[in-house]
Amino acid sequence: MKLARLYAEKTGEPKYMAIAGALEEGIRRGEFAPGEALPTQRELAEALGVTIGTVTRGYAEAAQRGLVVGVTGRGTFVTSPRPDVDVMAPPGGLYNLGFISPFEYLNPSLNEAVARLGRADLGELSHYQQPRGLARHRAAGACWARRYGVNVSPDGLLICAGAQHALLTILASLFNPGDRIAAEQLSYPLLKQLARRLRLHLVPVRMDRAGMLPDALEAACRGGGVKGVYLMPTCQNPTLAQIPEFRRRELVEVCRRHDILIIDDDVFALALEHNLPSFSTLAPERSCCIAATSEALSGGLRIAYLCPPEHHLEELERTISYTISMAPPLMAELAGMWINDGTADIVLTAKRREAAARNDLARNILDGFALETRTTGFFCWLKLPEPWNSVDFADAARQRGVLVAEGEHFLSGHTVPEQGARLALGGVRTREELAAALEILADLLHERR
């Protein structure tokens, strides 16, 4: 058995890590082909002389590294090299429904904004600042955070270079290598990449249409070592699940019982009208909320406001200092101007209006298929009918000129909970282009009915 031979070469590390390392080495050497079926957990446990639980952990670690995927009822397979759909694709004549680009043609005018800024004295912005940001920029951030349901003072937040930098700051500051972070089975792909690089372990937690299940989180915590939980509670990426208030309170109780930090990365919350309380309201002592601007205003803005518990402020600020010194003050000035003069709300309203029209278009064209949408959501989740699996569907769509984000891209664990694809509605400029892309997908689905 190839895997047993490669495993024997790994010494001095935990057995489950040796299994994942053996797989990684075998794939690098070309000994495992994309799509190749791996031994069952029982077969491998017997060959290696370890427990089935050790093999389960080894395969889960390999899945977190993007090496394998488990398909319920079929087994574990070596993954094929996949394009990273959460990185902006180069121009190529494809309809891009893979990357969430939220109607960027509706962004506020940068030319007008720069002209306005040019009439002010900007000398201060060319200097080094405190890592937390200028006071007026934090005041604008506190105003923006209230749109996420977070009541925070300007002194209680930090300015980061976008939501991704805010997430990295939290993970690098408040967790140690080996710590376990709970996340839904399908979750934001960047979390997986950051966890791998910081030597953190993701613990997949079952979810339903209303998000993470509190009893499943409780079970994961009882397994030990869980230090944090990652949530996108109002508009989850990729499934659009929305956690209702009663479940938010249940999740908070689980986190309090086990002393778990809540990472509230609700970046798409402003796409929707809602009155749900934030986790920072329900559990201010243990919630880090990320109030992003890029999804609502401009992808190039790269400003987000990190609202943590007061006792974590100093440590988080140190990490900002060590990583980037400070978020660019000029970008923070621009974000603050748009927030304070009402531009941000005007743009957000326009994007919600366009999103509503595009969601209607998607529901009409994909009528008869299991499509999860929100009235003004920036993306949809398409549950694929048999015999489709998400990788084959994504490959077939690409061959016909459409990029979609397949379900495996979002896996935080080993087993695919359902076959699906995320369809970003703002990645093409016009509704006509979106209709053409959706018609291609509809034809694919009808062909295999």
* Domain CATH code at residue 221: 3.40.640.10
Show the domain range for 59: 2-77
Asked if the structure places residue 118 within a domain, the reply is no
Per-residue pLDDT of 4-61, as tens digits, reads 788 788 777 888 888 888 888 888 888 888 778 888 889 888 888 899 989 888 888 8
35 and 15 in a common domain: yes
Number of domains comprising the chain: 3
Give the highest mean pLDDT range of 37-46, 83-92, 97-106, 338-347: 338-347
Give me the pLDDT at residue 86, please. 65
Residue 371 CB contacts under 8 Å (≥ 6 apart), including other chains:
362, 363, 380, 381, 382, 383
The CATH number that applies at residue 16 is 1.10.10.10
Per-residue pLDDT of 81-96, as tens digits, reads 666 666 666 666 789 9
Asked if the structure places residue 142 within a domain, the reply is yes
262 and 231 in a common domain: yes
How many other CB atoms sit within 10 Å of the CB of residue 349? 12
Asked if the structure places residue 113 within a domain, the reply is no
Decide if pLDDT at 65 tops 90: no
- 8 Å CB contact between 235 and 210: no
Decide if pLDDT at 305 tops 90: yes
Give me the pLDDT at residue 35, please. 79
For residue 399, name the pLDDT band (cuts at 50, 70, 90): very high
Phi, psi of 131 (to 5 degrees): -55, -30
Query: Can you read off the two tokens belonging to residue 201?
Result: 């372990």
